[in-house]
Structure 1
């Protein structure tokens, strides 16, 4: 047993955290002789902290088809990752607005790591056969990934703005308000272009100050500004590093869209989508749409 709470007399407790939970952790480790605690009166702290019991009650398949469980879990994993990716993109955007390029680069790196996990989550669904899918498809009625407000938030942060896309969520007041806020704010790409203009590059004023609720339209002058950035690919050029980090994001977004298209094509072919769209045709249009367009188009000219 510990006979003192002094950090100086307990080697487990750094002096700068004396009086914190570090003392309790050190005491438990010493009392347990290094073994984990095995006795709790209620939920384990792990379950309570992460809401594991709640999380595991959220899988409620409506049929006996085993593939439906994978479908639900895969969808829920994606929604959780949407939250993480959005947070990191928004932090990168805000860093750019504050002229903090190193901070933005750090958040973009973290975002691409989360995007990789997000893209890999398609492996849970991508091998589903149409026979399996048909055995539970009718059970979810009009439910469709198109109705995901988490994914819509990502699109708005990227700059793919569309006010009508808020309409499906008008019955969810908090969600609709969040989407309107993102609609009216500069996107991640807008923030990058505003930074370039502040650095003296020839980004037109109309790209730096405009109606943020409108979808971004490519501009040859913006491509020229990025071309000047790429003219100096020295690792010390933070704008060049930013451009490549944005490309890392864009490439993963395109990959996500293509994986979505392939998963739908494999499980249901060209049938109409459950949410009322024409399915593959709708998804294929999204795959063809470049994220951060001038960063792609300049590759044909430099």
Structure 2
């Protein structure tokens, strides 16, 4: 028995609640005739979607981290797609709200790597054989995000060729103008000197930086009062790429921490491949113009 233990004093009688409150509480606690929290969120399906294949304790962390990341990416795609439409329609206040949300979602994805980094190399090694060739490299949603942000690469369609529905989704993002493409088209409609081959082009090709595009953005940044909404758009794009760079950096450092320089389960070079991705710049002129301001 604990040295300072003592017999508690008897609890006073619980106060009686007014009858109206009792009935109200009963109504709030009885969901037999209405939709509950779990019903609305389909929690039975969500919370029973984790099926570890190995006996390793840490596989649950690996599954939950990737599933929650996919849910955040679903929301990110929802916002990016709508924001791109709003930029095309010159509904910039709505686009700004959506793009700000995309940056906040990226912060959540960056934080997720911090949780996964608690998995040590022996813990990952215990479950890795059960992953076979499955890899985050094959995420259709991530690929759509890359394409929506302008990092187009037709080779990235191939990992989804085994699923016609996923291939159609990824290919649609590959063929569509990116968020940055629509931003440049908007600058051109406002009379800024964006070259014609950046206003209408083959949207499936990777974006090529242009001195003329940089000059157009420079006009915006040198006179933000005259071009206030375009200036805000440029900064929203900067926020997104800033957050995306952090996500990529945390990805590569977490992978190196857990598996070193082993090849990835999806057949990539692992850390070597991810490090190459650190050099990808999505909105190049918005970054390079800062040197000339």
TM-score (norm 1): 0.86
TM-score (norm 2): 0.88
Partner of 2:127: 136
Please say if residues 127 and 263 of structure 1, whose CA atoms lie closer than 8 Å, have aligned partners that are also in contact: no
* Residue 162 to residue 236, structure 1, CA distance change in 2 (3 Å): closer
2:220 & 2:227 partners in 1: Cα distance? 12
2:122 & 2:26 partners in 1: Cα distance? 49
1:80 & 1:243 partners in 2: Cα distance? 27
Deviation at 1:66, TM superposition (A): 2.0
Is 1:147 the counterpart of 2:147? The answer is: no
| 1:66 pairs with one of 22, 42, 57 | 57
Give secondary structure in 2 for the equivalent of 1:150. helix
Give secondary structure in 1 for the equivalent of 2:255. helix
1:47 & 1:235 partners in 2: Cα distance? 50
Q: Structure 1, unaligned stretches of length 5 or more?
A: 1-28
Once the two structures are superposed, residues 158-190 of structure 1 have per-residue CA deviations (whole angstroms, 9 ceiling, x without a partner) of 011122211111121111111111111100000
1:36 & 1:231 partners in 2: Cα distance? 61
| 2:154 pairs with one of 153, 163, 180 | 163
- Structure with higher Rg: it is 2
Please say if residues 161 and 183 of structure 1, whose CA atoms lie closer than 8 Å, have aligned partners that are also in contact: yes
Partner of 2:78: 87
Partner of 2:200: 209
Partner of 1:96: 87
Q: Report the more deviating stretch, 226-235 or 30-39.
A: 30-39
Q: Structure 2, unaligned stretches of length 5 or more?
A: 1-19
2:139 & 2:271 partners in 1: Cα distance? 18
| 2:170 pairs with one of 166, 179, 191 | 179
> How many pairs align?
274
1:235 & 1:85 partners in 2: Cα distance? 31
* Residue 60 to residue 221, structure 1, CA distance change in 2 (3 Å): same
